[in-house]
Structure 1
Amino acid sequence: MRLAAGRCEELLKASDHGVLTTLHPERGVDAVPTCFVVDPAARAVALPIDRVKPKSSVDLQRTRNLDHDPRAALLCEHWDRSEWSTLWWVRTSMVRAAVDPDGRAEFESLLRLKYSQYEGHTFADVLAFRITEIVGWSASPV
């Protein structure tokens, strides 16, 4: 059953992670797991580029993809292989947005509140997005 936009926003905000998709200029869709925060009032999503998890560089392919094409999508879902009546997914279509220093500081605070692993750490960058569409589905009311 199709989910109302408000319910999609609630499920998105409550999700602890999702899959970010961006467009690589040659090979097409790139999908990577990510953590994120949502500002429903601003219809915005922010993702960290952190130094907490091991990376070879903070110059990530997702950022280069967004420099080429600012469109992205974020997919969150709940899956239970033994109880399909609880299945749901939410897909958010987004466009990368500029964020001023105050907005970045607010997103960093939200990320630290949601993910305790970020406490005491700095971010290499924060990718901000404006939500252009949010849709979802569930097997039964959620």
Structure 2
Amino acid sequence: MRAVLELMDRAIGALEERVRLARTRGWKLLVCAVGAELEAFRQGREVLRAALDAAGGEEDLLPGIGGESAGERGDDGAEMGDARTAGDEDFGKLSMGGVPVREHRVRAPPSLLDRSEDEDDGPGPEFLTSHQEEYE
């Protein structure tokens, strides 16, 4: 279980870097989405730590998950993606123990994608033209 906690700590670090990147680029929706994932990982880590403490710190409560610790594998963190190179192309490539964190993309239902022009909630044309002469 300690190996899983180590993986979670690395994932949390990578997610924190992704949130920082999204903030610097002004991607508010992405900040919210990744921030929610980050909070879920933090809560999950605390639940796992509490379970480990309640079990008296036994190591193989989850046999086969996590396997060897990162130090025993000689792992340098490359599996998690390098937080220092948090570019757009690396954004969805996080993995834990070789298993991608997100194996698939969720697609929007066709009903959300099928919108006609009259359903547009944008500003009307009167707000898109200049009204400078009214203020002179």
TM-score w.r.t. length of structure 2 = 0.23
Greater percentage in helix: 2
TM-score w.r.t. length of structure 1 = 0.23
Greater percentage in strand: 1
